Amino acid sequence: DLTGDWSSDVCSSDLSEKEIITLGIKNKRDDIIKLLGNRSIELSKSDFEILRVNKEMKLFRIGDILNTQRGNRLISSHRIKGKIPFVTAGENNRGISSYIDKCNKVVWSHSPSISVDMFGHAFVHEYMYGYDDHVVEVYKEGLTINQLQYLATAIQKELLLSGKYSWNLMVTKSKLDEEFISLPTNSQDSKEPDWDYMERYIEIMIKKAVLKYENDIEVHEKQREIHKENIRSEERRVGK
């Protein structure tokens, strides 16, 4: 999300639209650099090397490499409102349907973790949340947000995009444990995926997304200037 407050030190009324957009990109860029551990947002030589590598992949059984836990039923009328996210089945708002109090008797998540609903929607959550019986939590101690994001993408690809699950055949904890997902590995004999590669790959994807956003803004601004110049040229022609 590249929207939000850009600067509390500058009065936006003193800036042009282009300057405001540029300021927003710069500040958000700095924020993302901090999230990346103060590493540069530019793609490095080692980043390009990772992208060029034809990484070996292996099918891993989810139950062999990750922990899973099913939630429990908490109907809307019994939910005590609060500030903690409550995740149910659905693709909107990362599955968060309401906010509840800690006194509700539900299964509470590990943090961070992935929620997988009965259709296969998979979302990463960096915070504690409760979840109902149509959701299975996927977690493993020590995994980073980037590693979880890679896993969530692989899980959703296998469960949701394949179309194998629906109202007639829902994702459950036991079914999820038996699913296989394709993950990078250092060898076919390895019992664990290449977690380091997954971390770096998602980091590179974040960099590429930010750079693309910046490029799109630059292209948009050039197109606006061309359009304005065309209008000015037409006005001068008509004025003659």
pLDDT at 240 over 60: no
| pLDDT (0 to 100) of residue 19 | 46
| pLDDT (0 to 100) of residue 39 | 62
Number of H helices, E strands in the chain: 6, 10
For 143-191, write each residue's pLDDT tens digit. 999 999 999 999 999 999 888 999 899 999 999 999 999 999 999 999 9
Q: Which residue has the higher pLDDT, 26 or 237?
A: 237
For 62-116, write each residue's pLDDT tens digit. 999 999 999 999 988 899 999 999 999 999 999 999 999 999 999 999 989 999 9
Sort 100 into a burial class: Cβ within 10 Å, 0-12 / 13-18 / 19+.
buried
Q: How confident is the model at residue 218 (pLDDT cuts 50, 70, 90)?
A: low
Strands ordered across the beta sheet of 96-100: 96-100, 81-87, 130-131, 107-108
- Residue 80's Cβ-side half-sphere holds a number of Cα atoms within 13 Å equal to 6
- Output Rg (C-alpha) for the chain, integer angstroms: 23
- Rounded Cα distance between 102 and 46, Å, is 45
Element (H, E) at 65: helix 62-65
